Structure 1
Amino acid sequence: MSRLKRTLNRAKKVLGTTERPRLAVHKSIRHITAQIIDDSKAVTLAYAVSGKEDKNNIETAKKVGADIAQKAAAKGIKKVNFDRRRYLYHGKVKALADAARGAGLEF
């Protein structure tokens, strides 16, 4: 229950707008996912996920970060709010964020 409360408290603080959408990261046992979301319209603008053959490791997180930044650039998105949810900023989440920054996203 406390993990859910922490997630919801964080979600209240990190919102995506039309000018600056939210880059949300989700990790599971098999995949890592990144979405760019405009919360004011409740629309997903871009989406990237690791492939079936990819292992869930730091290298895969870097690929997903570069992929989401490329898709964002194609839609004209340069600045985002980074939403790591309940995950600590290290390992895969940090690798994804660094790869997205390196590919041109600002947050």
Structure 2
Amino acid sequence: MLTKKEQRLRRARQTRIRIATQGVARLTVNRTNLHIYASVISGDGGKVLATASTAEVEVRNALGGKGSNVAAAQAIGKRLAEKAIAVGVDKVAFDRSGFAYHGRVKALADAAREAGLQF
């Protein structure tokens, strides 16, 4: 029987295989109990182009230490979209890493779309 983490990673593997065939940059999300992390990774070489997380000092200060709520996820989505557009990436594939598209993951995706990223 698979553990909860193994089930999530199995779902993530399927998504990454599908995204790899598209050859576009991917926006990955990792969610923990305390923080949310997001990165834009290039489609060809797998290079990290932009990152944002609630563990960053300036973000943590702006949020008042609360990095595990929907408001924090929205801030990270907006910040990541701005960074990605600054390096010339505007189209991405959303890689939710096996997490349900709900709550913080959905808030991050919606905020990134509003800030100009196209999924």
Report the TM-score, using the length of structure 2 for normalisation: 0.80
Percent sequence identity is: 39
**Residue deviations 1:40-93 (CA, integer Å, cap 9, x gap):** 212100000014423300000000000000001111111100111211111111
Structure 1, gaps ≥5 residues long: none
Task: Tell me the equivalent position of 2:12.
Answer: 7
User: Of the two, which has the highest radius of gyration?
Assistant: 2
What does 1:67-86 align with in structure 2 at a 5 Å threshold? 67-86=79-98
Task: Tell me the equivalent position of 1:26.
Answer: 30
Question: Greater CA deviation, 91-100 or 4-13?
Answer: 4-13
Match status 1:64 vs 2:80: no
What SS does the aligned partner of 2:30 have?
A: strand
Q: AA paired with 2:13?
A: L
Structure 2, gaps ≥5 residues long: none
> Aligned pairs, how many?
105
> Partners in 2 of 1:37 and 1:13 — Cα distance?
15
Question: Greater CA deviation, 48-57 or 68-77?
Answer: 48-57
Report the TM-score, using the length of structure 1 for normalisation: 0.89
| Greater fraction helix | 2
Q: CA deviation at 1:13?
A: 1.1
